[in-house]
Chain A
């Protein structure tokens, strides 16, 4: 039963979806404060490579090495986000162009690949990798075993984050302030909220989460470093935030859905089932489905009712009110 296609697909949807979930939650925080960061793909790659490097370099027990690797990945992602934050918040550069610049700078042909080559990380398996957290007996339970109980600790951390961010944005003072900053920065400023500080903080945390998402790939999902290993996950995460109408709970649903789509091709190949005419079709499915979902989410009345933060993508200039 646990080997049936549906269970395996859902279980791998959760596993493949976790990097997307971390990155999407990070992007959600940044966007809720009004900062659009299209550099997710770049930040994920830098987090992925630095996390992998930390895992290789520290000679400490597995648990500590992995914890350090996640911290390093988060820091690396935050440093990348800081570049974007400085450009768009302090220097008021165009957020779209700056985000693209970040992806080009850090992405598959840039810093991440430079670091990977310079630190010689390619072509070897990770020394320590995340494995299932709970005891074997629980993992073997029918259905819930593989899907819920057989996952690694990062999956459980991401669940805590979903709940935590949801509560933060709706039930705490700083969370409400962030939403004010994202919707109407001048009103927030009038209330005495420090717009710049909020935007910096959330962009940096967003970058840290994208870094963790990247490290989830190189330390848990496919424990190795290959240049450009994210393969567009960062972009799917950006799309996911739109699809989720800027809500953390829906991010989780969307991430697992896209995760399952990414898992479809390898899983069907492993079982030598062909879905439709070609490999081409199954491989393109995650990208095409993302496009489709974007169209559905963006078209018509949906956008007006559950729209984006009002000030998303615009710099706040106090004098220019």
Chain B
């Protein structure tokens, strides 16, 4: 890809982001309810675990402050990815099903990239902000080295990519199974699996949630990294899966585009 083309894509993405922010701010009631829902979302999650920790000291080896860190990380990643994808991937599903993808394929931007930045819901970023605050609060409970902090940031990126990859892959199954029912709803209820410590999974659950649909690797690795509990093997295994999923996404996207005939597929 040439520098000029990259620069052009960057300018388009910036313009899309700007329009997303303007759109959000024009609905002040949305911002207000966004703040309330963000607070409730993370508040109820914390309350849920607090009630459990009133009765036990650890959950599968995770202490209260480590679990709090995990909740903060999950909420940060979830808020960020939701802001980018909550409107775009359902729209992608709709466009594939209704045969509207042609218009996007003709735009001077990679279509996969377009469906990340097409319409950014900045209200969702409030979740991320609260998540960051929880991470900051939880990090006061332990000392964090610079290397752990760097690893944490690297794993956050990995978690975001994995989050996107799983949702994207699920969305583009529309090329082959163009049903108009609940893909997004299913993803939204399943993604919440990511907020629990991955060490709770044993046997088949471990294979399913750590490799086949690696939802357990969205937030846990970052929380392990910052608390200094992540092994090198865990680091490489997570990133290997991230890369595999990105490749699978691209492979099926290209396959899907070949299958797409612009008339309902």
Question: Do chains A and B stick together as partners?
Answer: no
Chain B contact residues, CB within 8 Å of chain A:
none
